[in-house]
Structure 1
Amino acid sequence: MSEDVSGLTLLGSSVRGPVDHVESFPAPAHCTKVRFTTDEVASMCPVTGQPDLSSVEIVYVPRERCVESKSLKLYLWSFRDRKVFAEALAVEIATEIKRAVEPESVRVVVTQHARGGIVLETTSEL
């Protein structure tokens, strides 16, 4: 394999639980935008402890590195038992993407599904 994947510790391993970080690999030439979406991010309300289910969209413009998707999945899993408001969730995810790959830009949209008849959408752009 010609790509430098020496920093990838999760891909190809038997890790089957949440992690606290996202891993990256060298961005291929001419990759101009990356978009991830999922409808399966769970967290808990910081006040009531009730479960919150959210959709998450992550869009970033890579420079030299790209997010490895298995590590992203395991990172998003880490919110399952955490008490966090949707607004803070969007900021925390965007901050981790920024840390991991130093993109030109990153945009994270968290859409918290209806509980009590209200859908919440929050955005963080770095």
Structure 2
Amino acid sequence: MSPETIYTNLSQLGTQTTMPESPEKAVLERVENPQKGVAYIVRFTAPEFTSLCPITGQPDFAYIMIDYLPGDWLAESKSLKLYLGSFRNHGSFHEDCTVSIALRLIKCIQPQWLRIGGYWYPRGGIPIDIFYQTGEPPQGLWLPEQGVANYRGRG
């Protein structure tokens, strides 16, 4: 598999790209998995995720962690960064943000398995943590704990 094959259809990597206006307008790209047939876990960590409360418009902050077992595709990291950044001006509850990210990734990269942890900082004194996964964790792989502490000034 040549680099031209893997990277041919990418529109954002290596170019100057502006932040998408919304998650719906964000382009999430994928690349062919150069290690097809090898079972391994990919982890993305976004410790400074932000969105807006859909009612008050106030900012919400989260630590988002995504783990997945690739199939034929990998999430292209710059496009994922831009997709996650597009939530900054997006009004949505914590649950919707977290699960929407998972479902969009699943649709794009069709992983063999995926889990996401959305560790939200308190609003009104209550932190909300959201967890989603596609099924049982894969057997025989090193799957580290997400390691985000329960809220005590997270960080």
Q: Classify the TM-score, shorter chain.
A: over 0.9
- Structure 1 counterpart of 2:55, which letter? V
After TM superposition, give the deviation of residue 114 of structure 1 in Å: 1.9
Instruction: Quote the Cα distance in structure 2 between the aligned partners of 1:105 and 1:98.
Output: 9
Which has the larger displacement, 94-103 or 17-26? 17-26
Residue 27 in 1 paired to residue 12 in 2?
A: no
- The answer for the alignment partner of 1:13 in structure 2 is 15
Q: Secondary structure at the match of 2:121?
A: strand
CA distance in 1, matches of 2:104, 2:15: 22
Structure number with larger C-alpha Rg = 2
Matched residue of 2:11: which SS?
coil
Which residue of 1 is the match for residue 106 of structure 2?
A: 98
Q: Which residue of 2 aligns with 1:39?
A: 47
What's 1:118 paired with?
126
Query: Which one-letter code corresponds to 2:2 in the other structure?
Result: S
Distance in 1 between residues matched to 2:116 and 2:28, nearest whole Å: 15
User: What displacement does 1:31 show?
Assistant: 5.1
Consecutive unaligned residues in structure 2, runs of 5 or more: 135-155
CA distance in 1, matches of 2:43, 2:119: 16
- Which of the two has greater strand per residue? 1
2:63 counterpart SS class: strand
SS at match of 1:79: helix
For normalisation by structure 2, the TM-score amounts to: 0.76
Identity %: 37
- Equivalent of 1:83, from 74, 84, 91? 91
User: TM-score w.r.t. structure 1 length?
Assistant: 0.92
- Measure the CA separation in 2 of the matches of 1:105 and 1:27: 15
Cα deviation 1:44-86 (Å, max 9, x = unaligned): 1112111101110011110011011100000001100111111
Corresponding residue pairs, total: 126
Letter of the structure 2 residue corresponding to residue 12 of structure 1: G
Between stretches 83-92 and 115-124, larger displacement belongs to 115-124
Distance 1:93 1:87 in 2: 10
In the aligned structure 1, how far is the partner of 2:39 from the partner of 2:118?
24
